[in-house]
């Protein structure tokens, strides 16, 4: 695995508060075979399996490992977790008396498992307990490392943070992502990169989140370039999963800020693809915010191998074939202006005004290089 670059060691100035989230990570090629044993160690009795369509073979293998613990299965998920789908999944978890959910696939599978855990408790024992989530990621969203949940209804996307949705165990098996198409891979990596970059400028950012973010960006950018040359290389796929793990961990502690809130607004309101929206918006938000966090900016630039973080991100995404304009994703110029007007100010290194948001979204819509 790549190690962190150190252009300048992080010097914690005053004090800071960092919360380490509980969880277990099992990492390595072939670790899918250990899912059953990990579930058994958790002491759960009835397990519901959620799998994206591309992860059905992996879900079949896990189902066999579970034996009598297998309670049922949901095949196929939808991005942004529509409330209607979440309610159906909650009903299935209740009727099957599931006390655990295994999510196999990308961020949408993990998101649906979180939606079930958010409002579900199990009473198989003498007292009610939270439903346990186990995640087996096949993409690089990093959602599996966070306690962030989200649901979308006709009124837009609602997100929140609840420790009850945090996966208890995460199994990273690079073999499962080896066949991921390059386009999907690159877009998913853009999502993870956004976690790294935003984690250095939120109000809760600290030297520990910065360290994870820098190492994560180093692994993600190196892994993406290697995967483009050799799509099935396990070491490269491992770097991407490692980077996604760190990216999710950094964001889980630092929280979300202007960038993610903009992306959630755009995705929930206009049904834009989640990962690709990050690629279009991140360089433009970074152009505004990065100068306000110069030390983190320098460390991220060194990890990315660039002298301009915003432009370097834009070039990384473009070279990987990820759309870098919201126009390419189907957003109209009028909708971009509408979103800028609807956005509500949030804590940020530079003041968030409607003019600032309008400039970000205007440049993101056009795909202007920073």
Task: Categorize the per-residue pLDDT at 80 as very low, low, confident or very high, splitting at 50, 70 and 90.
Answer: confident
Task: Categorize the per-residue pLDDT at 122 as very low, low, confident or very high, splitting at 50, 70 and 90.
Answer: low
For the whole prediction, is pTM greater than 0.85?
Answer: yes
So what CATH class is 180-366?
mainly alpha
Task: Categorize the per-residue pLDDT at 12 as very low, low, confident or very high, splitting at 50, 70 and 90.
Answer: low
Q: Would you kindly state where each structural domain of the chain is located, as residue ranges?
A: 24-176, 180-366
String of DSSP letters for 107-154: HHHHHHHHHHHHH-EE-SSSS-EEPEEEEEESSS--GGG--EEEEEET
CB neighbour burial string for 285-323, b if at least 16 within 10 angstroms, e if fewer: bbbbbbeebeebbbbbbbbbebebbbbbbbbbbeebebb
Quick one: 83 exposed, middle or buried, by C-beta within 10 A (0-12, 13-18, 19+)? middle
* Per-residue pLDDT reduced to its tens digit, 301-349: 999 999 999 999 999 999 999 999 999 999 999 999 999 999 999 999 9
Compute how many other C-beta atoms are within 10 angstroms of the C-beta atom of residue 154: 7
Q: Residue 9 above 60 pLDDT?
A: no
* Per-residue pLDDT reduced to its tens digit, 220-241: 999 999 999 999 999 999 999 9
Q: Which residue has the higher pLDDT, 141 or 308?
A: 308
What separation in angstroms does the CA of 271 have from each of 335, 345, 365?
12, 22, 15
Q: Residue 126 above 60 pLDDT?
A: no
| Lowest mean pLDDT across 55-69, 112-126, 172-186 | 112-126
* Per-residue pLDDT reduced to its tens digit, 18-75: 988 889 999 999 999 999 999 999 999 999 999 999 899 999 999 999 999 999 999 9
In CATH, what number does 24-176 get?
A: 3.40.50.1970
Q: Which residue has the higher pLDDT, 259 or 130?
A: 259
Identify whether the C-beta of residue 308 lies closer than 8 Å to the C-beta of residue 338.
no
What confidence score (pLDDT) does residue 157 get? 79
- The tokens of 41 are what? 């160690």
In the 8-state DSSP scheme, what is residue 34? Answer: G
CA angle in degrees (0–180, nearest 5) for 29-79-147: 65
Quick one: 351 exposed, middle or buried, by C-beta within 10 A (0-12, 13-18, 19+)? exposed
């Amino acid at each position: 695995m790549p190690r962190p670059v150190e252009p300048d060691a992080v010097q914690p100035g005053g004090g800071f508060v960092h919360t380490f989230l509980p969880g277990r990570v099992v990492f390595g090629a072939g670790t899918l075979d250990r899912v059953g044993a990990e579930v058994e160690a958790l002491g759960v009795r009835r397990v519901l399996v959620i799998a994206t369509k591309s992860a059905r073979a992996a879900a079949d293998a896990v189902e066999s490992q579970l034996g009598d613990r297998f309670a049922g299965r949901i095949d196929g998920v939808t991005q942004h977790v529509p409330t209607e789908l979440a309610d159906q999944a909650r009903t299935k978890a209740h009727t099957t008396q599931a006390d655990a959910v295994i999510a196999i696939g990308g961020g949408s599978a993990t998101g649906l498992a979180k939606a079930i855990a958010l409002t579900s408790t199990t009473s198989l024992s003498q007292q009610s307990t939270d439903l346990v989530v186990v995640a087996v990621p096949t993409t690089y969203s990093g959602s599996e490392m966070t306690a962030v949940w989200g649901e979308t209804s006709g009124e837009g996307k609602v997100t929140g943070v609840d420790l009850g949705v945090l996966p208890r165990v995460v199994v990273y098996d690079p073999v499962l992502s080896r066949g991921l198409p390059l386009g999907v891979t690159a877009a998913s990596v853009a999502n993870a990169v956004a976690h790294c970059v935003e984690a250095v400028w939120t109000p809760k950012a600290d030297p520990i989140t910065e360290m994870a973010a820098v190492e994560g960006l180093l692994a993600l950018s190196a892994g993406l370039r290697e995967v483009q040359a050799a799509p099935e290389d396990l070491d490269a796929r491992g770097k991407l999963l490692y980077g996604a793990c760190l990216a999710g961990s950094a964001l889980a502690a630092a929280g979300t800020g202007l960038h993610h809130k903009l992306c959630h607004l755009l995705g929930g309101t206009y049904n834009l693809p989640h990962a690709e929206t990050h690629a279009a918006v991140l360089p433009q938000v970074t152009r505004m915010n990065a100068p306000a966090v110069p030390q983190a900016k320098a460390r991220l630039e060194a990890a990315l191998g660039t002298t301009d973080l915003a432009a370097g991100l834009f070039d990384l995404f473009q070279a990987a074939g990820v759309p870098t304009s919201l126009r390419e994703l189907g957003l109209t110029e009028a909708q971009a202006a509408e979103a800028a007007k609807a956005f509500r100010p949030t804590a940020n290194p530079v003041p968030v005004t409607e003019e600032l948001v309008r400039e970000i979204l205007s440049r993101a819509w056009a795909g202007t290089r920073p």
